[in-house]
Structure 1
């Protein structure tokens, strides 16, 4: 199906499941492991004998992974690691008017990674979240993912977990996994931050626990905006649109183009799909850029003749693929993350990087007494009514 008008809102209505998720969270808080066993049997239709995956179970599952899949994971691992190592910031320092100051970067100590699962499992998501966490030198990494129908962990996920050297893996999914990581249970460790995608139940849970634990974001369905001119190959455009539509029926796919011929050819290929594609004819590429910046999409594809001349004009996007580079490559091995902001959040933040796992600690040291600086501080403290602040400064340096 085709629409020539963009919707006013995008599908991310996790609020409708908040009452259900509240009950799940309260159950995990009060009953701990017992709630996880009950909810896993009720919601996932799987009876598990243990929540924490033992090293033996992890190794057994990892040994089942096909050698070709292992090789692909190894290749992706090195590529993603190189990208995130590039981002490691230095500790920096300086000084001004007698005060030395600076910033030291410290990693978050305990992080939980949620990896969704359903018809398929997604080891690439664990790579995307786990690698920046490792590069950031997070001391404790805990992974939660729904069990498969055999009551164990997915083999490829086990292989990635071993490769990353995570501390523990838990067979728990959905809102109950988020609650367990946020509050802790007899088996699941409480963490300081939770990252990773998931369905509306997972997103509602992240929203509800965000008062006690940091979360990476409340994400909606996958989004892709393609800006294409007459140089774009229509069959590539169609494949990229359909590829992102694989994520589910609520994916938000938009084509912005000033080429009438390209639009006609693309529409011929997608017209009979059940999925809704938004195809907008623009007067020029500049207009397409304006619309894309307003949308602030998760994925943005600049399929234009000279993408390097356009990229500087993009101010809101999660990740950008240039030229013939398929957006799907970013989902696996390009280097940038596929855990990206949706629903317009790219206006204020980006995808997962090592900066999600580190924090700046600032410091200052008064080396030489600067009367003018001290007097300014005392004056401001008194003006704001903090007279003891002013005294604590003055008494040291009178």
Structure 2
């Protein structure tokens, strides 16, 4: 365990350090397709697969033994998230202003590839977080990719969620190689319009490399947590939240900012035998704590303070906020979403939502009833910018 008295410096997560290596993988997959995917699965996962896609019979076999309690848990979260994102969906609208109608029409993305990491453990919750908003948005085709286990199966819970979200296919391939495959297509893997889902540094590097040809949700580093706590906080709860978040990996910065020296000492004592990278910083006031949190712009922000709802308006930068009796870990399983911006990207974007699977199409039309002042304004601006034919085109239709 490492405890630092202070706050973390800028992230040391350097995707550029592996870009050259990952580019070789991406180029190889683009050139050799399925053959490269099968070879990389053997090399990186130690698994021999005879096909990239998990077939119908294999799905049935791989699903055997999935515990009913896990199925029921997935069903419960699936229902909750579906209801939430149905409420979240934007509406089409038109408004008439000055005799011209302006509008926005929302349409779903055509196809999406969802990457679900494997490695140490399966993450069906990640597929729920990405798949449900995609399904609610009515994405036409959803494809799922996840590394195989030692017998060539994808985790059964991931298969079960794939069925709930009506995924077209499940690819039993992971890492940078499947990102390349979904970006460019192979004999088996369908080229998609957007790739979403978390992953290690190699997956993130692959996203950077392919983002000129496919949409991505973001480039993320290790998970982050900032806790703001005052003297009313329970040190046991604070320590448990910090230890819970550190389960994601030793690289994850876990930060406690508190107005109480007593709490800081108690928490440090409780986490002393834990694995992780912890920061503890004592401040003079809650306002100072909030200012630091906004500067850190963390993925997760947890408020262990009295009347937390009163400070929500002071928080400008955070991927997700948990407060009251809700720990950050609860967001990982019931949402709204745990696919969140890291590396201070919450300054400019937020959690994955149904909006990530929709695109607004702008609409303009009129019936020659447009206000002449508005028409002249458009014509004037066109001529000012040197576009004479723009101006003539605008005027001609309204003579």
Bin of the TM-score, shorter chain as denominator length: over 0.9
The reply on whether 1:109 has 2:131 as its aligned counterpart is no
Deviation at 1:274, TM superposition (A): 4.2
Structure 2 CA distance for aligned equivalents of residues 370 and 383 of structure 1:
20
RMSD: 1.1
Deviation at 1:391, TM superposition (A): 1.3
Structure 1 CA distance for aligned equivalents of residues 383 and 272 of structure 2:
69
Structure 1 CA distance for aligned equivalents of residues 251 and 228 of structure 2:
21
Q: Verify the 8 A CA contact 2:78 2:132 in the aligned structure 1.
A: yes
Structure 2 CA distance for aligned equivalents of residues 363 and 316 of structure 1:
32
Match of 2:32 in 1: 31
Q: Which moved more, 1:131-140 or 1:60-69?
A: 60-69
Q: Given the two structures, how large is their TM-score scaled by the length of structure 1?
A: 0.98
Deviation at 1:60, TM superposition (A): 2.4
Deviation at 1:262, TM superposition (A): 0.8
Deviation at 1:330, TM superposition (A): 0.4
Pairs within 5 Å for 1:286-305: 286-305=287-306
The reply on whether 1:352 has 2:367 as its aligned counterpart is no
Structure 1 stretches of 4+ with a deviation exceeding 4 A read none
Q: Given the two structures, how large is their TM-score scaled by the length of structure 2?
A: 0.98
Local SS of the residue matching 1:36: helix
Q: Verify the 8 A CA contact 1:11 1:220 in the aligned structure 2.
A: no
Deviation at 1:324, TM superposition (A): 2.4
Match of 1:48 in 2: 49
Deviation at 1:92, TM superposition (A): 1.1
Match of 1:364 in 2: 364
Match of 1:331 in 2: 332
How many aligned positions are there? 397
Local SS of the residue matching 1:212: coil
**Gaps spanning 5+ residues in structure 1: where?**
none
Local SS of the residue matching 2:198: coil
Q: Verify the 8 A CA contact 1:51 1:171 in the aligned structure 2.
A: yes
Q: Give CA-to-partner distance per residue, 1:327-371, whole Å, 9 cap, x none.
A: 1000002x3100000000001000110000001111011220432
Deviation at 1:103, TM superposition (A): 0.8
Structure 2 CA distance for aligned equivalents of residues 370 and 205 of structure 1:
50
Structure 2 CA distance for aligned equivalents of residues 84 and 133 of structure 1:
9
Match of 1:146 in 2: 147
**Gaps spanning 5+ residues in structure 2: where?**
none
Match of 1:3 in 2: 4
Q: Verify the 8 A CA contact 2:243 2:274 in the aligned structure 1.
A: no
Q: Give CA-to-partner distance per residue, 1:22-59, whole Å, 9 cap, x none.
A: 00000011101111011111111111011111122223
Match of 1:135 in 2: 136
Local SS of the residue matching 1:231: coil
Structure 2 CA distance for aligned equivalents of residues 196 and 81 of structure 1:
18
Pairs within 5 Å for 1:106-255: 106-255=107-256
Q: Verify the 8 A CA contact 2:246 2:277 in the aligned structure 1.
A: no
Q: Give CA-to-partner distance per residue, 1:149-201, whole Å, 9 cap, x none.
A: 11121111111111111111101100001000000000000000000000000
Deviation at 1:255, TM superposition (A): 0.3
Structure 1 CA distance for aligned equivalents of residues 77 and 380 of structure 2:
57
Deviation at 1:273, TM superposition (A): 3.4
Q: Verify the 8 A CA contact 2:318 2:346 in the aligned structure 1.
A: yes
The reply on whether 1:277 has 2:274 as its aligned counterpart is no
Structure 2 CA distance for aligned equivalents of residues 369 and 213 of structure 1:
39
Q: Verify the 8 A CA contact 1:301 1:323 in the aligned structure 2.
A: no
Q: Verify the 8 A CA contact 1:11 1:221 in the aligned structure 2.
A: no
Q: Which moved more, 1:78-87 or 1:170-179?
A: 78-87
Q: Verify the 8 A CA contact 2:255 2:279 in the aligned structure 1.
A: yes
Match of 1:13 in 2: 14
Q: Give CA-to-partner distance per residue, 1:235-283, whole Å, 9 cap, x none.
A: 0110100000000110110001001111110011123434221000010
Q: Verify the 8 A CA contact 1:11 1:250 in the aligned structure 2.
A: no
Q: Give CA-to-partner distance per residue, 1:273-310, whole Å, 9 cap, x none.
A: 34221000010111110000001110110111101111
Match of 2:68 in 1: 67
Local SS of the residue matching 1:331: helix
Structure 2 CA distance for aligned equivalents of residues 351 and 13 of structure 1:
22
